[in-house]
Structure 1
């Protein structure tokens, strides 16, 4: 790997000033965990980086349908290095359940970022989440998922519905003392063949049509008699991440355990989806951060026309673009994490603070995916011809980043969910109050631009006819996210100082005012190549 990647062997925590600044602002306890975070950063930069690249280059999971005795097992075979690394990564899922914070959990997820490995951990974690909160009677499964030998999965959508959960056809029938699930065709089931237990949506017989009739169930891989409880039809061949097995799962008479109250199942489902959207946002910026690690080393080593790449004005402009997008996206992601950390104990019908956290999750999930795709594409370009060769690490990060706008709901879904949160829950009101608290007293032009853009956008949405509001919802989603990113960056500026104040202004220029970066920024090396000082 040392011949394929500039980021390999580096400590991914110590090399990331933006992460350290974000944690110092949103999670002051991080200072007491510096040694742990640095250890994780070293692990991510060497063993994990190497293992993920190895799996991606041809050691992806393989479905094994039968054992030596001819019995159906539907298990995936993982490369030994992937299985070993996953076991060492498992503690990432534990902090929220050990009295810790979501900042801790997502900081480790950001450092990992690799979509295949991180996806396996997030879907495992999303089994523990509803069990911890709503099903103490199933606590033995939670313990196995968090501390034992069990891997988990979340299987919600079906082929005929996609993001429309209300179109699900899986039926839940109570037979004696056990629930059974029938006609379940979970067509994109991440963790298929690996999961020992999954959470899945199904409609109890007699429940109303639509999403509110869905309940959430725990579905083990094996029935009580030890036989297979569901079957894996096949694994998907994906154009993106290759480390996570994803396939088609059939539920036909599958034994299941009801989680919490059946009539609240859709709320539990959407909560776990909120957690996964936050993970998606954090992973998007983590992917982008790894591409930036590659680029910052490359532009200082590579010479063109007699000068290092980093000395040329157009390359500096690109580096500034990377720095502005990365800092803004990461600050936005952890602002959403912080809001969720304060609200996650809330239960249906929820409080204003939970609706605000959900509102921010839509903004963060969508905008970070945009930034990750743009950052990794530009990183490939800065590598020149090498950037498009699969044998070098930077190419993979763009391919992986392109997953993040699709997983956990594309931008159309995020925009519609945002409108629903506004219209039904008035979630934009605490959002605007949050912005005003952070921006109204500031005199910087960027603060004024961000607050004005948010007020104008919300007013336009409120005044629009329903169809017109939907038509402009994606534009509004991005504009509100950019206002929130500027507010979050100013929060960092009040801690580490001037670099983030400057980044906030540059972000507002670029994404809210539509203005080019000022020419003087070409000499602000400490902004786009932090650690090198002015030049």
Structure 2
């Protein structure tokens, strides 16, 4: 993986190549991609990491101070719903969409005979979120809307699908998902928006209010509404595509090129909706979020009536994974800024990365980042395998070009059941980790980290929405219970953990593997206990259970990866895996103070700077 990185060579975490400096994402994608996929993707991801590290990083800081602005009415009082975007954000959009950030996972990109796995879209979102997690929201929803149309459209909305998945920025439209209503919040079943069919116009018309609408002016917006005589609750909801422009007056989807060439829509071409205002938000300024009144807006039914919520969950699964990938990207940038600052900042005659407390902090931030990234992209692999199977493609081996293997080969049904459990866990845990990591990165910077001139201020503000978007921690914890109850997800989960632990044989991993196996048995006991308890007690325990699932699965995954790397003669990942197990699963007497643990001091260069460790050297390195 190359020599150790000297972070003292850099002034700050911009004007660098994020792909080159993030060996965790490189390792994980090499593991989960087929060999031909990785060979095609690596130079493109490197080029994208360079663009994000230079142009997008600078654009994002400008946009944070000069974000989109809404003009609801023109000077004559007519509704125009115009969102004005700074040129820097438009440049970022072009840089991302022209590089296939959405398109490559849906249509075969140049040089390939088939699309890349959806994990590739998530990998590009990860890199994008090093610089602009706010803009990643429209990217994620564009991919999500495309996935829904691919699955459920009968072909009547092919123009919208083609525009959502275009590789040409001029032809692109973006997606959005309008779920939240003021009276409902997380209770989507409380949706009051109504849909009535207009025979004369040959379309549906939606009337109601949506309260928290990110990417407010998207042309490919998906919204839930209740048709006449539909039952209450989520069972009565149908899904509709609601264009920003009146589709008849605009002559089809209103693309990025139309917007740039023609300017704002004529009031007669505006769909029957009114954007009341943009929210004044803590962060994610680059995505305009507002309130929308649907006033008989033209809309098209997607899929079947009264199956909208079930169909929307397909988009929600991808959105939650996108949220988790963005969390990992923020963690990566926060860690990078901390490493560089600590390697350059002198205090009391030494750079601060020489002091034991800072060394321990940086080690544990690095371990958290690698653990989160491993978990998220393993779930991305499962998601990709399931989607590939649904498209009718042959399952792909995720055999690593470096000789290790991922635990591929699950049937599509088992992959679905396992991902149904792990997706809410991924979003729940990594969002919290992103907030904690960004917060500490601000502290590493000292007073500078607290002011707008330095990026850690924005990283924390942007990260803070991640536990809220796509379901709060409580909502996701309840979803974990549903996955266990309705999908019997514990069965593929048990098989996946056991398979990984069985692969771990090296003595350097032995103690950690025994700890994980013991905790795994305790987790199984917890699952059996909850299955026999009443619903109230199960809900009370749901959040602890979700975090327990993350810790055990991630530990087993890292140990499996470390074993594969040991077989290739590389020992560094064993240090990361052992540290994760020690931090998350071991009980330590006197909180570890009496243990004599010097791991952070003796393993700092390996964990933080990616210094190579031979397998023979593992015996000389403490394992906790």
TM-score (norm 2): 0.81
CA distance in 1 between partners of 2:116 and 2:67 (Å)? 33
After TM superposition, list the pairs within 5 Å mapping 1:407-446 onto structure 2: 407-442=469-504, 444-446=510-512
Query: Residues 551 and 584 of structure 2 are in contact (CA less than 8 Å); yes or no, is this contact kept in structure 1?
Result: yes
CA distance in 2 between partners of 1:165 and 1:227 (Å)? 27
RMSD: 2.0
Q: CA deviation at 1:533?
A: 5.9
Q: CA deviation at 1:67?
A: 4.0
Residue 371 of structure 1 aligns with which residue?
Answer: 433
User: How far does the alpha carbon of each residue in 1:42-90 deviate from its partner, in whole angstroms, 9 at most, with x for none?
Assistant: 001010000001111x211000123466542101100011112112211
1:118 paired with 2:133, answer no
1:64 paired with 2:82, answer no
After TM superposition, list the pairs within 5 Å mapping 1:450-465 onto structure 2: 450-453=516-519, 454-465=523-534
Residue 108 of structure 1 aligns with which residue?
Answer: 124
Residue 378 of structure 2 aligns with which residue?
Answer: 335
CA distance in 1 between partners of 2:88 and 2:212 (Å)? 25
CA distance in 2 between partners of 1:24 and 1:458 (Å)? 33
User: How far does the alpha carbon of each residue in 1:271-307 deviate from its partner, in whole angstroms, 9 at most, with x for none?
Assistant: 1011000000000010010011111111111111111
Per mean C-alpha deviation after superposition, the further-off stretch among 464-473 and 12-21 is 464-473
Q: CA deviation at 1:346?
A: 6.8
After TM superposition, list the pairs within 5 Å mapping 1:27-66 onto structure 2: 27-28=33-34, 29-56=37-64, 58-66=65-73
Please state whether the residue corresponding to 1:364 is helix, strand or coil.
helix
Please state whether the residue corresponding to 1:234 is helix, strand or coil.
strand
Residue 6 of structure 1 aligns with which residue?
Answer: 12
CA distance in 1 between partners of 2:504 and 2:563 (Å)? 11
Q: CA deviation at 1:180?
A: 2.9
Residue 189 of structure 1 aligns with which residue?
Answer: 213
What is the aligned counterpart of 2:444 among 360, 374, 382?
382
CA distance in 1 between partners of 2:426 and 2:220 (Å)? 29
CA distance in 2 between partners of 1:12 and 1:434 (Å)? 31
Residue 195 of structure 2 aligns with which residue?
Answer: 172
Query: Residues 12 and 41 of structure 1 are in contact (CA less than 8 Å); yes or no, is this contact kept in structure 2?
Result: yes
Gaps of 5+ in 1: none
Query: Residues 159 and 187 of structure 1 are in contact (CA less than 8 Å); yes or no, is this contact kept in structure 2?
Result: yes
Q: CA deviation at 1:478?
A: 0.5
Residue 225 of structure 2 aligns with which residue?
Answer: 202
Please state whether the residue corresponding to 1:529 is helix, strand or coil.
helix
Query: Residues 220 and 229 of structure 1 are in contact (CA less than 8 Å); yes or no, is this contact kept in structure 2?
Result: no
User: How far does the alpha carbon of each residue in 1:154-211 deviate from its partner, in whole angstroms, 9 at most, with x for none?
Assistant: 111211111111110111122226343444211000011x312311011121222111
Please state whether the residue corresponding to 2:242 is helix, strand or coil.
strand
CA distance in 1 between partners of 2:558 and 2:449 (Å)? 30
Please state whether the residue corresponding to 2:306 is helix, strand or coil.
helix
Per mean C-alpha deviation after superposition, the further-off stretch among 326-335 and 135-144 is 135-144
Q: CA deviation at 1:502?
A: 1.8
Gaps of 5+ in 2: 1-9, 108-114, 250-268, 391-411, 614-620
Q: CA deviation at 1:495?
A: 4.2
CA distance in 1 between partners of 2:122 and 2:464 (Å)? 20
1:94 paired with 2:94, answer no
Flag the structure with larger Rg: 2
Residue 528 of structure 1 aligns with which residue?
Answer: 607
CA distance in 2 between partners of 1:529 and 1:100 (Å)? 31
Q: CA deviation at 1:133?
A: 1.5
User: How far does the alpha carbon of each residue in 1:309-365 deviate from its partner, in whole angstroms, 9 at most, with x for none?
Assistant: 111111111011101110111111111111111113577xx9343122121101111
Please state whether the residue corresponding to 2:239 is helix, strand or coil.
strand
CA distance in 2 between partners of 1:344 and 1:127 (Å)? 15
Q: CA deviation at 1:450?
A: 2.9
Q: CA deviation at 1:227?
A: 3.8
Query: Residues 277 and 291 of structure 2 are in contact (CA less than 8 Å); yes or no, is this contact kept in structure 1?
Result: yes
Q: CA deviation at 1:492?
A: 2.7
Are residues 356 and 378 of structure 1, via their aligned partners in 2, closer, same or farther at CA, if it must alter by over 3 Å?
A: same
CA distance in 2 between partners of 1:400 and 1:219 (Å)? 28
User: How far does the alpha carbon of each residue in 1:426-476 deviate from its partner, in whole angstroms, 9 at most, with x for none?
Assistant: 112111111111114535233333343332332332233221111011011
Q: CA deviation at 1:480?
A: 0.5
1:488 paired with 2:561, answer no
Residue 132 of structure 1 aligns with which residue?
Answer: 150
Query: Residues 109 and 282 of structure 1 are in contact (CA less than 8 Å); yes or no, is this contact kept in structure 2?
Result: yes
- Aligned residue-pair number: 528
Query: Residues 187 and 249 of structure 1 are in contact (CA less than 8 Å); yes or no, is this contact kept in structure 2?
Result: yes
CA distance in 1 between partners of 2:360 and 2:87 (Å)? 43
Query: Residues 55 and 242 of structure 1 are in contact (CA less than 8 Å); yes or no, is this contact kept in structure 2?
Result: yes
Per mean C-alpha deviation after superposition, the further-off stretch among 102-111 and 179-188 is 179-188
Are residues 451 and 75 of structure 1, via their aligned partners in 2, closer, same or farther at CA, if it must alter by over 3 Å?
A: farther
Query: Residues 504 and 559 of structure 2 are in contact (CA less than 8 Å); yes or no, is this contact kept in structure 1?
Result: no
Are residues 298 and 532 of structure 1, via their aligned partners in 2, closer, same or farther at CA, if it must alter by over 3 Å?
A: farther
